[in-house]
Amino acid sequence: MTRAVFRIGVCAAALSAIAALGAACSPSVAEPSVAASPSPSARHVALPLDLDGKRMMLVADKEDWGKDLQAALARTFPEAESAVGAAYKIVGGKETVLAGVVATQVADRQAALVTALESLRPVAGLRNPGLTVGRTVSVDAVGPAAEIECGLADGGGADFPVCAWATDTVLGVVVFTYKKPAAQIEAEFHRIRAALEASVA
């Protein structure tokens, strides 16, 4: 079981995915130019329209959390192959989940988690005072080996359960804009994580 709380004030080192390519060439032999082909490792994230009983919010409300999160993740992980975010609302209800996924090579999972969680600060509803140390939501690691951190984010008068995870190739964040017992949040997180990881191809 992974138990963790947000570690705020920790400056995470920026992840680097820049590979130095070296190629030898001979000035005496003219070689025909060959168009570069896309890297076979390049991946794309296609978020599902429905996520754990919730439908993607395609019409922007007063603040578009999904776009805010996507922009924050793209800025935070500029080397990522793909970074997306969306807001999902339960059909006929008010429960909303904010989900973001980044397809990238993760060298340090713990540092990636800290960096990903810090990216939530500018997202609508999670502005200053930002993430704070609070009650712990524990989760069991499922699926590919991952580092997982869950806790509460101070949204300026309301606490939001937040979970983030990082594997060697994917990291993601999930914000629940509603209160439920920890066991229910754990169960929802596991289902959401599985669906989000399946969206990476």
Q: Is 30 domain-assigned?
A: no
Cα separation of 85 and 98, whole Å? 7
Comparing 133 with 75, which gets the higher pLDDT? 75
Q: Are 181 and 34 in contact (CB under 8 A)?
A: no
The predicted structure's pLDDT at residue 160: 81
Domain count, the chain: 1
Q: Is 8 domain-assigned?
A: no
Strands across the sheet containing 96-103 = 50-51, 54-56, 82-90, 96-103, 170-176, 159-166, 147-154
Burial class (CB in 10 A: 0-12, 13-18, 19+), 92: exposed
The predicted structure's pLDDT at residue 192: 92
Comparing 10 with 161, which gets the higher pLDDT? 161
Comparing 70 with 131, which gets the higher pLDDT? 70
Q: Is 171 domain-assigned?
A: yes
Identify the CA nearest to 7 among candidates 156, 158, 164: 164
Q: Is 40 domain-assigned?
A: no
Give the mean pLDDT of the chain. 71
Q: Is 2 domain-assigned?
A: no
Q: Is 68 domain-assigned?
A: yes
Domain encompassing residue 58: 50-198
The predicted structure's pLDDT at residue 141: 53
Q: Is 29 domain-assigned?
A: no
Whole-number percent of the chain with pLDDT over 70: 66
Whole-number percent of the chain with pLDDT over 90: 11
The predicted structure's pLDDT at residue 16: 29
* For residue 129, cis peptide bond before it (omega within 30 degrees of 0): yes
Q: Is 131 domain-assigned?
A: yes
Question: Per residue in 38-68, pLDDT tens?
Answer: 444 677 888 888 999 999 987 655 457 788 8
- Most confident by average pLDDT, 36-40, 89-93, 130-134, 191-195: 191-195
Q: Output the 3-class SS for 126-190.
A: CCCCCECCCCCCCECCCCCCCEEEEEEEECCCCEEEEEEEECCCEEEEEEECCCCCHHHHHHHHH
